[in-house]
Structure 1
Amino acid sequence: MNRILVVLLAFFSISVYSQNDEATLKAIYKQSLTNGQSYAWLDYLSNEIGGRLSGSENAQKAVEYTKAELEKLGLDKVWLQEVMVPKWVRGEKEEGEIILKSEGLTTKIDVNICALGGSTATGENGLQAKVVEVKSFEELAELGEDKVKGKIVFFNGAMQADLINTFEAYGGCSRQRYAGAYEASKFGAVGVIVRSLNLRQDDFPHTGSMGYLDLPENKRIPSAAISTNDANTLSELLEKNNNLEFYFKQSCQQYDDVLSYNVIGEITGSEFPDEYLVVGGHLDSWDLGDGSHDDGAGVVQSMEVLRLLKESGIKPKRSIRVVLFMNEENGLRGGRKYAEVAKAKGENHIFALESDSGGFTPRGFSFDCSDANLAQIEQWRSLFKPYLIHFFEKGYSGADIGPLKNDNIVLAGLRPDSQRYFDYHHASNDTFDAVNKRELELGAATMTSLVYLFDKYGVNQIQNARQLRD
């Protein structure tokens, strides 16, 4: 990078904040912590509606509820954006057993399993077969068809416990959940059992999306998750007896796509109405719990951003939208649809913030942006220090806002403390009682503060610096 560009970047990154900004952030946090609405919204979303799997009746109830609540805020615009989503139904509660046969005796050990989202059913009588354990696709390939055909493949790759970034640990083994059935079917397996993506040892199986990719329907095999405790039990028993069998039964079914909606509310900008800032989370959830952390928390925090701006007397310069995306969990249809419509309309989105990491204590943000914009953001770090928000780094922003990415937009993800997140992620214990009211409200205030700063100061257009350099 030459000296001229360095100077230009430094110039464009100057964003001197004032004591007024400090006072505004203080007012935002006070409003959220003493007069917040996010926890009450989450209470209704979780306890009165419940799990909100795409295409379900509850998902539609959540659309209607959040739209009505946004309308109560007196926003300039509130509307629904149509999006076609997949409809997968779990069916009856799944059954799972380890079956040991020795000297004419049969011992059955019940285990906790759940179907992975998108899986086929096992059939009315369930599926029973011998088990082969692997911890990676490489191990599976080494075994080959001779040792896999006709068996159930047990993927027992655990999340790496010594990684402080739990999302990194999750990413390190999530492929076995998504593509395990696809890979195992290549070698003639009849079913797949996957260790739950959870750092804690417990009895909760964790669901999540899986895919068959280009497999024809007659090659698709059922896939289920098993709790970490039961995964350990199965592994220990396999060491002693590799002839044991596993039985599981699931009655899930995939239907045709159905119509659903993104829910959108807007405060129109007073000076630059054609520049858009987006804040959002995903309205759908898995069906085992009520989706309070994933992603009810992000939904209500995003709604709260617009309420806090209004309650704090802030009149945005730019248009600020809350977008409650549908179908993040098993298709990302809502995020893609929003970006598609925005592009078709030629809308200039300059900033997008997503909350999809649970309602825990906020630690900061990760940013997908240019160096010039990151330099500007660094100028604001001290504003957040009184609230113990210190994490400002480049990194992943969020799945639903990802399709908006271009050279100029700043994408950001709220980063709460993640150490407990995967205890609840996609499991039946992801319920309202697992969310702390104060932590949730701190997250909402933190998001609002960042949106306020980007609205006030805008973003740096890095291509301008390139043009001046050239």
Structure 2
Amino acid sequence: MLNRKTSFFLASAVWLATIPALYAQRGRAQAEVPITDPVIQQIVGEANNNSQLEDLAFELLDVVGPRLVGTPQMTRANDWALEKFKSWGLSAEKQQFGEWHGWERGISHIDMVHPRVKTLAGTQLAWSPSTNGKAIEGEVVTMPQWKDSLDFRKWLPSVKGKYVMISQPQLTGRPDYNWKEYGTPESITRMNAQRDSLTSIWNANVSKTGFSANSLPSILEDAGAVGILTSYWSYEFGANKIFGARSKSVPSLDISLEDYGILHRLAEKGHKPRIQVETSSKSLGVVPSFNTIAEIKGTEFPDEYVILSAHLDSWEGGSGATDNGTGTITMMEVARVLKKILPNPKRTILIGLWGSEEQGLNGSRAFVIDNPEIVEKTQAVFNLDNGTGRVVNIDGSGFVHSYDYIGRWLSAVPNNITKEIKTSFPGTPGGGGSDHASFVAAGIPAFMLSSLSWGYFSITWHTNLDTYDKLVFDDLRSNVILTATMAYKASEEPELVNRERRVMPEGRNGQPNAWPAIRQPRRTGVGY
């Protein structure tokens, strides 16, 4: 371990305003640095002039579609990636790491039939039970204010045969930036105060039931409710977060903010709205879960590895475009470019398209545990998983000497690609969030290539708007050049890089925090 004096020195952040001129004066304009390495010249030319990103995106996002673990679409995505790798001359295989409850989305209809007819914007949540193709009509009811859990228990029988709304209705459907642009200070202050008050009242009312919000669906269906209605707004026009159902026997449906508000107001004002729901999703029993792994075999150090990392699975609201179709197609394009330009790298370049990341990094965690001989000799892992933007941040993940080798690799990248990139060394080891963390826990230098937001967390992350049209292909091409160059340089290093870990900062007990531990994956599961 590092002594504390050295640790303090290295723990300070190193922000590189422009790379490859690592020591350029802050603020000085930099001229374009000519590319002299013929391999990098070819990488840039291939990535810019023969890009396959648009075609890959179309095939994965529009043809295959969303890739929820346990669904036929996820299986099709594994097979599609496998065949695509093979068509480029890479060896590739599906590696089973577990199994999951299988589910297939069918046709669904959600219509208000009283007090007027209106087709509602909404969707079944992932793994939702079905109406088995039957149209089930029922009154929509809201949750009243309860005095305590006994009062809640007395109310429960009244939900029999009804659809129950369990999400807080929104006071406004306008995002904060829209209020800031057009609202008066007085109206903004009033709206925020009302919204905060309603949220506090809502949360307090749910707590009076004696159950958590997540456990309410099963309590309600046991009491005879015919369906559960939610609305998880993403604080952006038209965007709702779409996760998994927590009901076991009746459908769970997420309704758009606008239509949920209509139903809620009608119910609250005594108009007793009724909806008709018809779904034909299917439970498929237990199905296998896979990672798709491809490789470009190394020549000088074939048993040492550079890993290109992205998760192939997604949630089911849109088509999983920016989470993580962008990471997937970028790493696939990097593999295609490197196979064409660098067919015989010194080290083996592995491409890991992981499964079930959304349920807890299960695919990559399983790979780390199941392949110790690979993990032990991995030079570096480069991970993409936060949207369509160009990479602007790289953290050293807590490795003391990461500033040295990351700096060398970045210095080879064209400076028009790296001019916005900031780095932080030695950084902090990620405990979760994306698949690089699975490798960091094992002591492997693994790095998240963090991208510009493009409104990622509010607009596309796990929402119904995460679709092809949100992709920014110029930024993705930039990421292909960056990642391909760094992978090439990492593969050509004369030795494995130094893996010394930093001394972790002190926790509340005055002792250094622990390095993240290797965690077991979930190899079987249902829903969440």
TM-score (norm 2): 0.66
Is the partner of 1:399 in helix, strand or coil?
coil
The match for 1:441 is: 477
For residues 155 and 6 of structure 1, the distance between their equivalents in structure 2, rounded to whole angstroms, comes to: 48
The structural deviation recorded for 1:461 is 1.8
The match for 1:182 is: 215
Q: Confirm or deny: 8 A CA contact 1:292 1:435 kept in the other structure.
A: yes
The match for 1:107 is: 116
The structural deviation recorded for 1:89 is 1.5
1:361 equivalenced with 2:371 (yes/no): no
The match for 1:154 is: 166
For residues 463 and 53 of structure 1, the distance between their equivalents in structure 2, rounded to whole angstroms, comes to: 35
Letter in 2 for 1:121: S
Which of residues 58, 63, 66 in structure 2 aligns to 1:43?
Answer: 58
The structural deviation recorded for 1:424 is 4.2
- Tell which structure's C-alpha radius of gyration is larger: 2
Which of residues 87, 92, 95 in structure 1 aligns to 2:107?
Answer: 92
The structural deviation recorded for 1:227 is 1.6
1:386 equivalenced with 2:396 (yes/no): no
Letter in 2 for 1:5: T
Is the partner of 2:441 in helix, strand or coil?
coil
Structure 1 residues 92, 331: CA separation in 2 closer, same or farther (over 3 Å shift)?
farther
Which of residues 80, 89, 100 in structure 2 aligns to 1:74?
Answer: 89
The match for 2:297 is: 268
TM-score (norm 1): 0.73
Q: Confirm or deny: 8 A CA contact 1:97 1:246 kept in the other structure.
A: yes
For residues 418 and 17 of structure 1, the distance between their equivalents in structure 2, rounded to whole angstroms, comes to: 24
For residues 226 and 110 of structure 1, the distance between their equivalents in structure 2, rounded to whole angstroms, comes to: 11
For residues 211 and 447 of structure 1, the distance between their equivalents in structure 2, rounded to whole angstroms, comes to: 39
Q: Confirm or deny: 8 A CA contact 2:108 2:277 kept in the other structure.
A: no
* Offset from partner CA, 1:31-80 (integer Å, 9 cap, x none): 322222222222333344444444554444433332232223334x4222
For residues 391 and 454 of structure 2, the distance between their equivalents in structure 1, rounded to whole angstroms, comes to: 12
1:120 equivalenced with 2:133 (yes/no): no
Q: Confirm or deny: 8 A CA contact 2:314 2:324 kept in the other structure.
A: yes
The structural deviation recorded for 1:225 is 1.2
For residues 402 and 197 of structure 1, the distance between their equivalents in structure 2, rounded to whole angstroms, comes to: 29
Let me know the Cα RMSD of the aligned residues.
4.6
The match for 1:166 is: none
Q: Confirm or deny: 8 A CA contact 1:281 1:302 kept in the other structure.
A: yes
Pairwise mapping of residues 51-70 of structure 1 onto structure 2 (< 5 A)? 51-70=66-85
The match for 1:231 is: 260
Structure 1 residues 432, 346: CA separation in 2 closer, same or farther (over 3 Å shift)?
closer
Q: Confirm or deny: 8 A CA contact 2:217 2:246 kept in the other structure.
A: no
For residues 372 and 208 of structure 1, the distance between their equivalents in structure 2, rounded to whole angstroms, comes to: 38
1:201 equivalenced with 2:237 (yes/no): yes
Is the partner of 1:412 in helix, strand or coil?
strand
Which of residues 327, 330, 336 in structure 2 aligns to 1:307?
Answer: 336
* Offset from partner CA, 1:66-103 (integer Å, 9 cap, x none): 2232223334x42221243431112221314384xxxx
For residues 193 and 113 of structure 1, the distance between their equivalents in structure 2, rounded to whole angstroms, comes to: 10
For residues 254 and 140 of structure 1, the distance between their equivalents in structure 2, rounded to whole angstroms, comes to: 37
The structural deviation recorded for 1:221 is 4.7
Q: Confirm or deny: 8 A CA contact 1:131 1:245 kept in the other structure.
A: no
Identity across matched positions, percent = 23
The structural deviation recorded for 1:162 is 6.0
Structure 1 residues 465, 229: CA separation in 2 closer, same or farther (over 3 Å shift)?
closer
- Structure 1 range deviating more: 244-253 or 292-301: 244-253
The structural deviation recorded for 1:322 is 0.6
Structure 1 residues 286, 5: CA separation in 2 closer, same or farther (over 3 Å shift)?
closer
Q: Confirm or deny: 8 A CA contact 1:353 1:414 kept in the other structure.
A: yes
For residues 355 and 348 of structure 1, the distance between their equivalents in structure 2, rounded to whole angstroms, comes to: 21
Is the partner of 2:438 in helix, strand or coil?
helix
Is the partner of 2:333 in helix, strand or coil?
helix
Unaligned ranges ≥5, structure 2: 23-32, 178-205, 207-211, 505-528
For residues 351 and 266 of structure 1, the distance between their equivalents in structure 2, rounded to whole angstroms, comes to: 15
* Offset from partner CA, 1:202-232 (integer Å, 9 cap, x none): 2x665333456xxxx5xx5532211233234
The match for 1:173 is: none
For residues 287 and 217 of structure 2, the distance between their equivalents in structure 1, rounded to whole angstroms, comes to: 30
Letter in 1 for 2:109: E
The match for 1:169 is: none
Letter in 1 for 2:285: D
Which of residues 445, 449, 463 in structure 2 aligns to 1:410?
Answer: 445
For residues 318 and 88 of structure 2, the distance between their equivalents in structure 1, rounded to whole angstroms, comes to: 29
Pairwise mapping of residues 267-286 of structure 1 onto structure 2 (< 5 A)? 267-286=296-315
